[in-house]
Amino acid sequence: FVFLPGTTKQVENGTNVDGEEKEDKAAQSLLNKMIHTSLVNTTNQVEVLQRDPNSPLYSVKTFEELRLKDKLLKGVYDMGFNRPSKIQENALPMMLAEPPQNLIAQSQSGTGKTAAFVLAMLSHVDPTNKWAQCLCIAPTYELALQTGKVIEQMGKFYPEVKLAYAIRGNKLDRGAKLQEQIVIGTPGTVLDWCSKLKIINPKKISVFVLDEADVMIATQGHQDQSIRIQRMLPKECQMLLFSATFEDSVWKFAERVVPDPNIIKLKREEETLDTIKQYYVLCSDKEEKFTALCNIYGAITIAQAMIFCHTRRTAGWLAAELTKEGHVVALLSGEMTVEQRATIIERFREGKEKVLVTTNVCSRGIDVEQVSVVINFDLPMDKDGNADNETYLHRIGRTGRFGKRGLAVNMIDSKHSMNILNQIEEHFNKKINKLDTDDLDEIE
């Protein structure tokens, strides 16, 4: 079999009539994977809940302690990993324990979950057996490919282990038997391969990984398909579930898919507004907001700045107007492919552009740490038109660790936006001062 998937197809965010973007969790998640080329820093401690509270809790500080096969250890070091990440310190010994233990793990994107379960899958495989032994499901084709790349990279010195992609477009004949030991795919195709087509014998699966559980349950049908797959697996199969967030719905799903789990959670760093100077600028309309922005442009581009707009249309317009004025800006917008977005974020991170114009939705959940100036060209609001405090905090707030000082400027052009500003002030119990854009001494 040749299972080389084609080029990544376009992932688009949807828009409604106003050009307002809908959230696309899978695209956001993919983007996060693409831009997290190293571990996200965290000083928070992991929380571990053991299925058997009396058993000793193992954690490792080095990869050697895991007694991995040499070929795998070599793969790990070749990826540039020196020591396990926070979550890996606890998750790896649990996943590699004998007898196998089930695990539910939650931590934000970029903390080392994928690397952890890839290592677990690669360690469990018996390469002399030519059948599927590890099964991993992901919400989209693109996310599956991204994880597949990690498997290939980490297994670079272990070529006996083969990987197959169970994704739409990989057509196999009914009854054809898969020889690859690791299968990664989307729930629909994996289910077909396990049941209708009988390409995989689910009874021979010994490790089952459900990645991006929060994104999974956001897609119609994926939850049922995942549960149906899980029911076909043997009782002693190791079940592992990963998620970046953990709302109640994710938790309920996780408990259905993973019996008797150990649980590992790593909190996000708390964000605060304490080190941020917050201002607002009073304008009468969009054009005046633009003029005000031009007035402060010199002051904000001393550092790197992000400018947030509510719609793609406004973001596109603003980027074009700024360009006309001779400014070099980058535009990040929802109609771009995830690859294009990743490239733009990467360039911005490298400082190739100092200003990034984007929409609220497009950039939600994306961490660009070095930004110290944030302009809310439009204030963040929820679908009812109320202040979206959480987004405001995430955009502007700093974690204690990166506790550099920052500057936030909110552009107000209506009663409604003033109202949102007041809600934000009240929510955070912090006054936002008026900025006179003709007299900028204040923000220096």
* Footprint of ligand ADP (CB under 6 A): 33, 36-39, 79, 81, 84-85, 88, 107, 109-115
What's the token pair of residue 230? 């899980």
Among 56, 114, 122, which Cα is nearest to 85's? 114
Nearer to ligand ADP, 84 or 185 (CB): 84
d(CA 64, CA 410): 51
What's the token pair of residue 74? 């070599």
Q: What's the CA angle centered on 186, arms 183 and 187, to 5 degrees?
A: 105
d(CA 138, CA 158): 23
- Residue 24, amino acid: D
Rounded to 10°, the helix 338-349/25-35 angle is 40
Among 268, 270, 266, which Cα is nearest to 48's? 266
CA separation, residue 132 to residues 58, 135, 165, 252, 334 (Å): 29, 7, 11, 28, 37
- Residue 203, amino acid: K
DSSP string, 383-418: TTS-B-HHHHHHHH-EEGGG---EEEEEEE-SHHHH
Give the shortest CB-113-to-ligand ADP separation in angstroms: 3
What's the token pair of residue 410? 């909110």
Query: Is residue 35 within 8 Å of residue 340, measured between CB atoms?
Result: no
Give the shortest CB-32-to-ligand ADP separation in angstroms: 7
d(CA 358, CA 366): 11
Give the E-state strand segments of 249-304 in sequence order. 262-266, 271-272, 276-282
d(CA 259, CA 275): 44
